[in-house]
Amino acid sequence: MLATARTFTLDGISARPVRVEVDVHRGLPGFAIVGLPDAAVREARERVRAALVNCGFEFPLRRIVVNLAPASLRKVGPGMDLAIAAALLSASGQLEWERLGAVALAGELALDGTTRPVPGALAIAEAARESGAEAILVPAENGSEAALAEGVDVVPLDGLGQLPALVAGEWEPPRPAALPLWLESPPDAPDLADLRGQPHLRHALEVAAAGGHSLLMIGPPGAGKSLAASRLPSILPPLEAGEALEVARIASACGRLEAAIRGGRPFRAPHHTISPAGLVGGGSPPRPGEATLANRGVLFLDELCEFRRDALEALRAPLEAGEVSIVRAAGARRLPCRFMLVAASNPCPCGRGEADPECVCAPHDVQRYQGKLSGALADRIDVLVAVRQPEAAEIGAGPGECSADVRARVCTAREAQERRLGPGRCNAEMSPAEARECPLDPDAAGLLADLYAKRRLSGRAHDRALRLARTVADLRGLETVGAEEMAQALQLRRRDRG
Amino acid sequence: MARWEVADACPECLRRSWLLGMLGPYLERIATGEPGSRSPELLRLSNRDLVEVAAPRVGGELLRRIGALTETELSEGLASAGCWASCRHGDLYPAQLREAADAPWALIGRGEPALLAELEPNGTVTVVGSRRATSYGREVARELGRELAAAGIVVVSGLAFGVDSCAHRGAVEAGRTVAVLGCGADIAYPAAHRSLWRRIAENGLVLSELPPGASPWRWSFPARNRIMAALAGMTVVVEAARRSGSLITADLAADLGRDLGAVPGPVTSGASAGPNALLAGGACVVRDAQDVLDAMLGVGARRLDRGGPALDESLAPVLAAVEAGERTPDGVAAALGLDGPAAAAALARLELLGYVACSELGAYTRTSQPTPADAT
């Protein structure tokens, strides 16, 4: 007897449909799975066998062949257990289910037949909707996550034992409510009020947040760089519902939805030993990297100079394009990665800075260390701020302005940008043509031209200064960029030396 | 390469250079170590005495090989490296070098040979200092180099990291500069300064007493310091630790009776301990290029026209705050009661006008560029 069921395999952050064909016929008893299964899929044999027996079904002592179509697509993960088990029950005549081909199933099985959650339930439910499935059966623990995909009937299942009652129409599980999406940082998230004093750093953070500009902080250890970076998500504007769903989809595909869902905008701070593949995604089939996990949020690279050069180089194109393209033999995958890059670095290997007489770094070491700061990645960083050691009086002073107040100003500035550029866009994403269209005061134009001539700037640096000046003007509610705004922008772009 | 370039050096003096190149590792063994370096004294010795001291066992063989070098071989060695030479008997050889007892027999160079003859004590200043210079030292060295070169003074230094390269960089922007190397003149050492080395050779001079292709030795740096000291009418130490090669240059200059200047630094800074000690010992205070000109040529002999661009009224108090010691936008804002962004904007403008400089750490310091009011 032959039976087919529909399931999905995860590919990057989206799910691809897989048809499970099970044939049970006479011959030497055996259980074979074909169709490019990975090790986890192949081991489904043992899980399905035990689950069937332990739920009171009979495991047919016949020749069983499971084919996963399309045969050319690599199938990964244990999420196909449920579909294989259901198709096997149907093929062996233990379950009369005509609609099996019309619904989709996804879930891992425990040996006792209960279901275990799978990563990417949201993407799978969305793919089920796209493929026209009537309903999708998912492990109960994935129910509320899958329910985020609207327009498909999500049926939560606790175990294989519930299938006969469900099929017979004797039992109807309650439909799960969709997980609430948090658009804003949770109230207990770290607040900018913790940053004492340091008005210059605060201003730089505010400008970077207002225009979505990338930010590099250079300063001695303990000056507050990491603290400032971790407060950035709390001053960014709240996520749009569509953006929040995108964030949830990526987090779900990486199996970390629970941690991410309450966070508002993502904040990712990978350790500096990370590989290029870990940072931008890679492997076969491609898995999203930290850059994609930080989509719509903040990617914080602490100790920028300690990162591997190839990892930083890999970040260049995605930073510009807003997406990662991973090309494999099976085709190219595009993963979104519209993140705000925030980096921090010590001035030299010992951290004190060469102006400090205590600094023991050899000039050669300092040069090599800072080489990464002047590389092509640093060229794409908009705001450079020098962070100094806070004074004792500043630390002793009361808390600074809280995140909510700063965010209100940031949101106003973002609204002005959206009016000018269109929904969802910010100044950091302006094309060179758009940047040059911004109205400029003659004095401001003079300042920029002066700098351009004196320091022999590249065209890119010129446009970046324009974008930053535009953001400063937006924060002040001005239509035209004046000399004051331009000077502030140039101060935040001190890097622009010839 | 034309033959005349070698014609300014006699084969005997050139052979001395080649001998030094061959003696490199032998001198390394005896010339370095405590106390200080003996290489300038060693280089006073005649060829025969030098090999006797440095390489008694192979000395005879070395002398035989040097003696066997023909004029053609020497000139081809120079030409293939793109170098020319001038010896102490030549017309181009600077007169002030001949005075020194340990003067190099021959100078191998790259760049315009005629410039060598133009090097006069009163038109040449040596700027030396620490390789591990602070941003203060680098800024001062660069500004000093730029202003001296702009005033027509040739700036001599050693192409090393830190102060040396900053002085060169400032000088090539505005005029001419001479780099004296501790390796062959055709070798850019340190390699990081290759482009600077090339620029100097294009509109200045690169000099060495070692033959083309010679590698740098520890002993060859004190040795080239004596050439730097002897070339210039005045030697200025910008920044140097208490035991620094720059102080060797200063001692050598003082021994030759040349003027000695030092740039004062914070008494707490180890990087300025050397120049501060020189000042305590009677060296001239060098705050800017004008001080150098005054010391070398006599007060008032030459006035520099150095007024910077006009200052906006709103910028003057900010500049005053930086002069008073505020180094960050936050500090300036607090001192003047401005809001942070306004202070930052003012500092950016001052930097653009050249009145302040900003370090990698974001600390603003006053440059030596005077305001129009100061200059009059």
Whether B320 and B286 map to the same domain: the answer is no
Is residue A388 less than 8 Å (CB to CB) from chain B? Answer: yes
Q: Which residues, 6+ apart, have CB-to-CB distance to B150 below 8 Å?
A: B174, B175
Whether B31 and B171 map to the same domain: the answer is yes
Give the E-state strand segments of A315-393 in sequence order.
323-328, 331-336, 340-345, 383-386
Compute the distance between CA of residue B157 and CA of residue B227 in angstroms, rounded to an integer.
10
pLDDT over 50 (residue A206):
yes
**Alpha-carbon distance A395 to nearest alpha carbon in chain B (angstroms):** 14
Give residue-wise pLDDT tens across range B241-264.
988 888 989 998 998 889 999 999
Of B135, B347, B360, the CB nearest to A491: B347
Name the more confident of A412 and B367: A412
Question: CB of A418 within 8 A of CB of A459?
Answer: no
Total tally of structural domains belonging to chain B = 2
Which residue of chain B has the CA closest to A488? B345
**Alpha-carbon distance A129 to nearest alpha carbon in chain B (angstroms):** 52
For position B92, what pLDDT does the model report? 87
Name the more confident of A437 and B301: A437
Contacts of B348 in chain A (CB under 8 A): 487-488, 490-491, 494
For an interface test with A, the pick among B269, B330, B347 (most A C-beta atoms closer than 10 Å) comes out as: B330
Of B134, B348, B360, the CB nearest to A487: B348
% pLDDT > 90, chain A: 48
Greatest Cα pair distance, chain A, in angstroms, is: 89
**Alpha-carbon distance A406 to nearest alpha carbon in chain B (angstroms):** 15
Compute the distance between CA of residue A203 and CA of residue A406 in angstroms, rounded to an integer.
10
Task: For residue B42, tell me if it sits in a domain.
Answer: yes
For an interface test with A, the pick among B352, B364, B369 (most A C-beta atoms closer than 10 Å) comes out as: B352
Mean pLDDT is lowest, of A455-459, A471-475, B82-86, B339-343, for: A455-459
DSSP-derived 3-state class of residue B107: strand
- Tell me the average pLDDT across A49-57: 95
What tokens does A367 get? 């040069």
pLDDT over 90 (residue B280):
yes
Ramachandran angles phi, psi of B356, nearest 5°: -130, 160
Task: Mark yes or no for CB contact B362/A354 under 8 Å.
Answer: no
Q: Which CATH number is B346's domain given?
A: 1.10.10.10
Give residue-wise pLDDT tens across range A148-176.
998 899 999 999 999 999 999 899 999 99
For position B306, what pLDDT does the model report? 67
Assessment of whether the complete model's pTM goes beyond 0.95? no
Whether B212 and B321 map to the same domain: the answer is no
What are the sequence ranges of the domains in chain A?
A: 2-168, 192-422, 430-498
Mean pLDDT is lowest, of A9-13, B11-15, B97-101, for: B97-101
Task: Mark yes or no for CB contact A199/B330 under 8 Å.
Answer: yes
- Tell me the average pLDDT across A309-319: 88
% pLDDT > 70, chain A: 97
β-pairing, B177-180 with B364-366?
unpaired
Question: CB of A217 within 8 A of CB of A385?
Answer: yes
Whether B100 and B28 map to the same domain: the answer is yes
Last residue within a domain, chosen from B271, B297, B323: B297
The H-assigned helical ranges of A25-160 are 39-42, 44-54, 81-91, 121-130, 143-146
Question: CB of B195 within 8 A of CB of B169?
Answer: no
Question: Computed from CA positions of residues A468, A471, A476, A479, in that sequence, does the dihedral angle turn out positive or negative?
Answer: positive
Ramachandran angles phi, psi of A360, nearest 5°: -110, 10
Out of 3.40.50.300, 3.40.50.1820, 1.10.357.140, 3.40.228.10, select the CATH number for domain A192-422: 3.40.50.300
- Tell me the average pLDDT across A356-376: 75
pLDDT over 80 (residue B33):
no
Contacts of B173 in chain A (CB under 8 A): none
Of A199, A220, A363, the CB nearest to B340: A199
For an interface test with A, the pick among B244, B332, B350, B360 (most A C-beta atoms closer than 10 Å) comes out as: B360
Of B192, B329, B360, the CB nearest to A200: B329
Task: Mark yes or no for CB contact A355/B134 under 8 Å.
Answer: yes
DSSP-derived 3-state class of residue B369: coil
Please report the number of interchain residue pairs, chain A to chain B, with beta-carbon separation below 8 angstroms: 94
In this structure, CATH architecture of domain A430-498: Orthogonal Bundle (1.10)
pLDDT over 80 (residue B36):
no
CA B303 vs CA B139, B147, B151, B287, B299: distances in Å: 22, 12, 9, 15, 9
Task: Mark yes or no for CB contact A491/B330 under 8 Å.
Answer: no
Most confident of A61-70, A441-450, B196-205: A61-70
Contacts of A374 in chain B (CB under 8 A): none
Is residue B299 very low, low, confident or very high in pLDDT (cuts 50, 70, 90)? Answer: confident
Give B283's DSSP letter. P
Is residue B2 very low, low, confident or very high in pLDDT (cuts 50, 70, 90)? Answer: very low
How many helices (H) and strands (E) in chain B?
19, 11
CA B339 vs CA A342, A476, B317, B343, B345: distances in Å: 25, 13, 14, 6, 10
Give A365's DSSP letter. H
Task: For residue B321, tell me if it sits in a domain.
Answer: yes
pLDDT over 80 (residue A39):
yes
What tokens does A9 get? 């395999």
Is residue A363 less than 8 Å (CB to CB) from chain B? Answer: yes
Mean pLDDT is lowest, of A219-228, A336-345, B351-360, for: B351-360
Is residue A185 less than 8 Å (CB to CB) from chain B? Answer: no
For position A188, what pLDDT does the model report? 82
In this structure, CATH architecture of domain A2-168: 2-Layer Sandwich (3.30)
Whether B46 and B135 map to the same domain: the answer is yes
Query: A124-146: buried (b, 16+ CB within 10 Å) or exposed (e) per residue?
Result: bbbbbbeeebebbbbbbbbbbbb
Please provide the average confidence, as pLDDT, over all residues in chain B. Answer: 86
Task: Mark yes or no for CB contact B344/A200 under 8 Å.
Answer: yes
**Alpha-carbon distance B126 to nearest alpha carbon in chain A (angstroms):** 22
CA A453 vs CA A251, A498, B195, B293: distances in Å: 47, 9, 22, 31
Q: Which CATH number is B59's domain given?
A: 3.40.50.450
Task: For residue B349, tell me if it sits in a domain.
Answer: yes
For position B35, what pLDDT does the model report? 43
Compute the distance between CA of residue B311 and CA of residue A310 in angstroms, rounded to an integer.
46
For position B3, what pLDDT does the model report? 41
Residues of B contacting chain A (CB within 8 angstroms)? 131-132, 134-136, 161-162, 192, 268-271, 328-330, 333, 339-342, 344-349, 351-352, 358-363
Task: For residue B165, tell me if it sits in a domain.
Answer: yes
β-pairing, A63-69 with A14-25?
antiparallel
For position B58, what pLDDT does the model report? 87
Contacts of A494 in chain B (CB under 8 A): 348, 351, 358, 362
Compute the distance between CA of residue B332 and CA of residue A200 in angstroms, rounded to an integer.
11
Task: Mark yes or no for CB contact B330/A197 under 8 Å.
Answer: yes
Which residue of chain B has the CA closest to A472? B341
Query: Residue A188: how many CB atoms within 10 A of its CB?
Result: 7
CA A463 vs CA A129, A313, B79, B347: distances in Å: 44, 22, 48, 21
What tokens does A275 get? 């590989």
Whether B219 and B288 map to the same domain: the answer is yes
Radius of gyration of chain A from its Cα atoms, rounded to whole angstroms: 27
pLDDT over 90 (residue A117):
yes
For position B303, what pLDDT does the model report? 76
Closest by Cα among B363, B331, B347, B370 to B136: B363
Is residue A304 less than 8 Å (CB to CB) from chain B? Answer: no
**Alpha-carbon distance A447 to nearest alpha carbon in chain B (angstroms):** 8
Segment (H or E) for B179:
strand B177-180
Of B268, B269, B340, the CB nearest to A203: B340
Last residue within a domain, chosen from B270, B297, B324: B297
Task: For residue B302, tell me if it sits in a domain.
Answer: no
Task: For residue B304, tell me if it sits in a domain.
Answer: no
For position A65, what pLDDT does the model report? 95
- Tell me the average pLDDT across B119-132: 90
Task: Mark yes or no for CB contact B361/A200 under 8 Å.
Answer: no
Place of tokens 């000039």: A363
The DSSP line for A219-274 is --TTSSHHHHHHTHHHHSPPPPHHHHHHHHHHHHHTT-HHHHHTSSS-EE---TT-
Which residue of chain B has the CA closest to A385? B362
Last residue within a domain, chosen from B297, B323, B358: B297
pLDDT over 90 (residue B114):
no
Task: For residue B291, tell me if it sits in a domain.
Answer: yes
Of A220, A355, A490, the CB nearest to B359: A355
pLDDT over 90 (residue A321):
no
Compute, in degrees rounded to 10, the torsion defined by CA atoms A347, A353, A354, A359: -130
Task: Mark yes or no for CB contact B362/A219 under 8 Å.
Answer: yes
Is residue A494 less than 8 Å (CB to CB) from chain B? Answer: yes
Task: Mark yes or no for CB contact B345/A487 under 8 Å.
Answer: yes
What tokens does B109 get? 């160079």
Whether B28 and B108 map to the same domain: the answer is yes
Q: What residues are paired with A383 via a beta bridge? A: A215
What tokens does A404 get? 């909510």
Which residue of chain B has the CA closest to A220? B361
For position A495, what pLDDT does the model report? 60
Q: How far, in whole angstroms, is CA B123 from its chain's centroid?
A: 14
Whether B256 and B291 map to the same domain: the answer is yes
Is residue A370 less than 8 Å (CB to CB) from chain B? Answer: yes
Contacts of A218 in chain B (CB under 8 A): 360-362
Contacts of A362 in chain B (CB under 8 A): 132
Instruction: Residue B157: give the domain boundaries.
Output: 4-297
Whether B346 and B216 map to the same domain: the answer is no
Question: CB of B141 within 8 A of CB of B170?
Answer: yes
Which residue of chain B has the CA closest to A368? B192
Whether B250 and B285 map to the same domain: the answer is yes
Is residue A400 less than 8 Å (CB to CB) from chain B? Answer: no
How many helices (H) and strands (E) in chain A?
22, 16
What ipTM is given for this predicted complex? Answer: 0.77
Whether B244 and B348 map to the same domain: the answer is no
Contacts of A472 in chain B (CB under 8 A): 341
Inter-residue long-range contacts of B90-93, CB under 8 Å, 24+ positions, other chains counted: B90/B8, B90/B9, B90/B10, B91/B8, B91/B117, B92/B8, B92/B116, B92/B117, B93/B8, B93/B117
Closest by Cα among B45, B101, B85 to B229: B101
Task: Mark yes or no for CB contact B344/A203 under 8 Å.
Answer: yes
Task: Mark yes or no for CB contact A388/B363 under 8 Å.
Answer: yes
Query: B20-42: buried (b, 16+ CB within 10 Å) or exposed (e) per residue?
Result: bbbbbebbbeebbeeeebbbbeb
Whether B238 and B330 map to the same domain: the answer is no
Closest by Cα among A117, A145, A126, A2 to A65: A2
Task: Mark yes or no for CB contact B360/A199 under 8 Å.
Answer: no
For position A355, what pLDDT does the model report? 65
Closest by Cα among B127, B120, B145, B136 to B236: B127
